Amino acid sequence: MTIRCLLQVWMLVGFGAWLSVVTAAEPAKLVVTSPKPHQIFQRHGTAPGTGYAMVPIEGEVPAGAENLEWSYALLGSTQLFKNTSDFVFQPLAMAIREGRFNGTIRMPAGYFQIYLKCHNGTGDVAATLITYVGVGEVFVIAGQSYATNTNDEKLAVTDKSARVTAFNTATGQWQIANDPQPTPDGSDGGSIWPPLGDALADHLQVPVGFVNVAWGGTSSKQWLPGGTLHPRLAAVGQQLGNCRAVLWQQGESDVIEKTPTETYVENVRTIRDAAFAQWGYSVPWLLAKSTHHPTVYNDPEGEGRIRSAIDALTKLPGFRPGPDTDTLQGENRGDIKSRRHFTGVGQKRAAEMWLAAIKAEFFTSAPADSLKVGVAEADITPPIGFPMAGYYHERLAEGEIDPLKAKAIAFVGPQSSGALVVCDLIGIATDLKNEVRKRASEKTGIPPENIGISATHSHTAPDYMKELYLRLGNEPQEKLRADYIDKLIGGIVDAIVEAHKSAEPSLIESGSAIQEFPVSFNRRSIMTDGTTRTWIGHDDPRVVRAAGPIDPEIALVTVRNLDGTPRGVLSNFALHLDTVGGAKWSADYPFFIERVLRQSTSSSLISIFGNGCCGDINHVNPKSKVRNTADIIGTSLGNTIDRQLKNPAGLKPLSRSDLVVKSTTIQLALQSADKEEIDKALVILDKARKKEPVDFFDHVTAYKKVMIDGLRHKTPHANTREQITWGLSRSLAGIGETIPVDMTVFALGPDVAIIALPGEVFVDLGLAIKRNSPFRTTLVIELSNCVETIYVPTRAAYAGGSYEVTNSSTMPGSGELIVETALKLLDEAAREQQSSAN
């Protein structure tokens, strides 16, 4: 069952003073299995004192504790509250099943006590206090004796709040990281980790946790999968769910065993790859040079082999250089009697070297050199009486269900900048793209080609193209319509400008979720006669099967403030927007996605929905008579996204935040529009205007041919502007046999790419781009920068025919050319990202 929880965040000085207040009623104890006392969770973010983590709360309730409300307090170290009436509660979903509860809370960076209680409306039923849980930096330590307790002096944590802790793999508990460290090999001397933890906690102003699985006297071969050491390494990564890095300090046993350089490289690669495969995530692996052991051997040649191997490894993706502790000599070294590695002085200097390596890898980027991100929105809702888009007859708007908006995300890096704006429109006319790019570039300095403009494809949005055509030509038109065109252009530009203006250092995460509740269906069916039909129910005996797949992935990019507060979510899912109908303005199901996310996170969050490749995908289940509505679809998608946002392992932060923007223009061959075809089209359009019976596909073909006529011919066969509304274009008029279309890629480090494609693209084409993209997460957003292509089917789909093929303006092969160009842009962006990393 789901129950309502109440959340509150406190920063308190003393546990004793607080306990004297809260124990007066003495409620029964809750048994909490997560988090553990002194446990540290890896934060998202790198700036000192900032970031957050999604912390799982799990445990058991006393008998009879069902249908309860919950509250918890985070008790910090700066302020004392004496009365629970001071608490400000926020709701949190928690579930009880068979006497166990579980939920997730977003905790800011810091070191807290958690007071957790449940109550039934008449009083507290059960409570517990978890003493100190941290959100900060977590490091997995692996290797041999240099990484364990084999040094002269047992050191203790000196941080005044004891924010440095260690995980004991034998007991499953966390403890203050005083020496000896809880390593599995049972070593009992001193280590280098307490002073490193102190220095990191002081520098970053967050707690630090170490998970040490090192074992003295072990070679790289012993750490390989199948050995006795690797399972523990694999297990801790899975238990943590996330960490900052692996600190690998090992090598002397391989010197003794005379391991060849190439073998050592292959062993460590295999260890890392196998561990990450079991963890389900990857992090940088920092390699220390710890090959020198003068009290045991003198083998400069052997040390050189392993040092060369470490140099080779650090040139491979995922490995980074750690400290060269071999350089610590003289007073830093233990003597022959102890046979230990470092003296107390050497331990502290080794810690300083690790600190320098970690800071250089993760924590040296100045805010001025980091990627800044801004999000903004502007209203573009037309007035009542403006024409509505989506169908082949005029509809004038009679009201508004929900507002239409332009929503922008701007990326500002030290070397480049870019922006993507998604509008609640049927499509983006090339004329609109050109005008918006020109004005937005003048106001922001973003190069015009680095601005992508996309449409959600709402069919309850304005039919604006003819009115835009008239306005840009300063031709006579109704004031209501002219004023709206000014609002439309101005609103889109304002969204871009405001997003650019508000750009600031941010926490950026990416990933994806799978939409399990069925909301999308391939609307094309293979028939028994070999043809393809659109919109045919599968109860029709002539249907063989669906003509293609769907894409159930929701690709995500989230933007948060440095304290973890959500500012924006960019989501990408392949599903046609035509679920509302009628004569009232509506953004369709993306409105409900935003409503879910705002209710769950922040009322100011901006949800930007970019439609995926859905030229052959809609919301109608061909096996059912019941249709999903906009609210059902949007709420389900919103809930899927929300669950992933709250999943501690759901989204991954960028490993680097370099911005690369790539764009290109390609030429797509237009279909024919000769005089005979246009004459036939004009007869059909005339009949349609007179409301005489006209075959639907003939009507679609006629409209398309007249539009192509205006594009191909400087002197069209027909008076285009008198025949059609959408498809009119000043910038594309008379361009000839091909239509130029823009494609844009925004690459955020090596992890995320957003690519904007023209037209209504078939799902197979979008899937081909995703499958072959070099980026971990790729958002493929259609209906960008140009709508005049109309549908973009696969080459194979042209042979099957039906609606989408009938309503395409380009020749077969256009979709495949778009895929080829997209992958080329993505590869170029990936290579440029790799070059900047080197």
Which CATH number does the domain housing residue 164 bear?
3.40.50.1110
- Same domain? 730 vs 744: no
Q: Is residue 334 part of a domain?
A: yes
The whole-number pLDDT of residue 43 equals: 92
Pairwise CA distance, residues 246 & 212, whole Å:
10
At 74 the pLDDT is 57
How sure is the predictor about 834, in pLDDT bands with cuts at 50, 70 and 90?
confident
**What average pLDDT does this structure show over 155-162?**
93
d(CA 735, CA 717): 15
E strands present in 772-830: 777-781, 791-792
Are residues 308 and 453 located together in one domain of the fold? no
Same domain, 421 and 496: yes
Residue 545 lies in a domain: yes
Least confident of 149-158, 362-371, 525-534, 700-709: 362-371
CA dist list (Å): 93 to 187, 312, 568: 44, 49, 22
Nearest to 448 by CA among 437, 458, 439: 437
Q: Which of 362, 384, 404 is the last residue of a domain?
A: 362
**Percentage with pLDDT > 90 across the chain:** 73
Query: Is the separation of the CB atoms in 114 and 59 below 8 Å?
Result: no
Measured distance CA(603)–CA(726) in Å, rounded: 36
Residues 258 and 335 placed together within one structural domain of the fold:
yes
CA dist., res. 229 & res. 371, Å (int): 40
Low-confidence winner among 365-379, 452-466, 751-765 (lowest mean pLDDT): 365-379
Give the model's pLDDT for residue 557.
97
Pure H helices in 417-547: 430-444, 465-472, 479-501
Q: Is residue 138 part of a domain?
A: no
Element (H, E) at 806: helix 803-806
- Do the domain assignments include residue 139? no
pLDDT number for residue 335: 76
Task: Say how many domains are in the chain.
Answer: 4
Q: With 80 as the cut, is the pLDDT of residue 387 above it?
A: yes
- In terms of pLDDT, which residue wins out, 47 or 616? 616
Half-sphere CA count of 99, side-chain side, radius 13 A? 6
Please compute the mean of the pLDDT values over residues 93-111 and round it to a whole number.
81
pLDDT at 78: 42
Residue type, 343: T
731, 744: one domain:
no
Is residue 211 in a domain? yes
Helix (H) or strand (E) segment spanning residue 125: strand 124-143
Determine the pLDDT at residue 426. 96
- Residues 6 or more apart whose Cβ sits within 8 Å of residue 434: 731
**Residues 653, 697: one domain?**
no
336 and 291 inside one domain: yes
pLDDT at 89 over 70: no
Cβ(764)–Cβ(735) below 8 Å: no
Averaged confidence pLDDT in the chain: 89
Q: 67: pLDDT confidence band, cut at 50, 70 and 90?
A: low
More confident residue, 211 or 123: 211
Q: Could you tell me if 716 and 795 lie in one domain? A: no
Query: Does the pLDDT of residue 18 top 50, yes or no?
Result: no
Q: Is the bond into 35 cis (omega within 30 degrees of 0)?
A: yes
In a shared domain, residues 754 and 699: no
Residues 85 and 163 in one domain: no
Does any domain span residue 36? yes
Same-domain check for residues 631 and 700: no
Residue 31: pLDDT band (50, 70, 90) is confident
At 237 the pLDDT is: 95
Domain range for 58 is 2-133
**Confidence band (pLDDT; 50, 70, 90) for 756?**
very high
72 pLDDT band, cuts 50/70/90, is: low
Is the model's pLDDT at 716 over the cut of 50? yes
**Model-level pTM?**
0.77
Q: What is the DSSP string of 440-470?
A: HHHHH---GGGEEEEE---SSSB--HHHHHH
Say what the pLDDT of residue 48 is. 87
pLDDT, average across residues 37-53: 90
The verdict on 20 and 126 lying in the same domain is yes
In the predicted structure, residue 82 carries a pLDDT above the cut 60 = no
Q: What is the pLDDT of residue 364?
A: 62
3 state DSSP class of 353: helix
Q: 331, 362, 393: which is the final residue of a domain?
A: 362
Per mean pLDDT, which range of 49-63, 67-81, 291-305, 736-750 is the poorest? 67-81
Q: Are 106 and 72 in contact (CB under 8 A)?
A: no
Asked whether the predicted pLDDT for residue 9 surpasses 60, the reply is no
Q: Which of 736, 764, 788 is the last residue of a domain?
A: 736
Note whether residue 534 is domain-resident. yes
Alpha helices (runs of H) in 601-743, residue ranges in sequence order: 630-646, 675-689, 696-712, 720-723
Q: What is the percent of the chain with per-residue pLDDT over 70, rounded to a whole number?
A: 91
Alpha-carbon span 728 to 734, nearest angstrom? 11
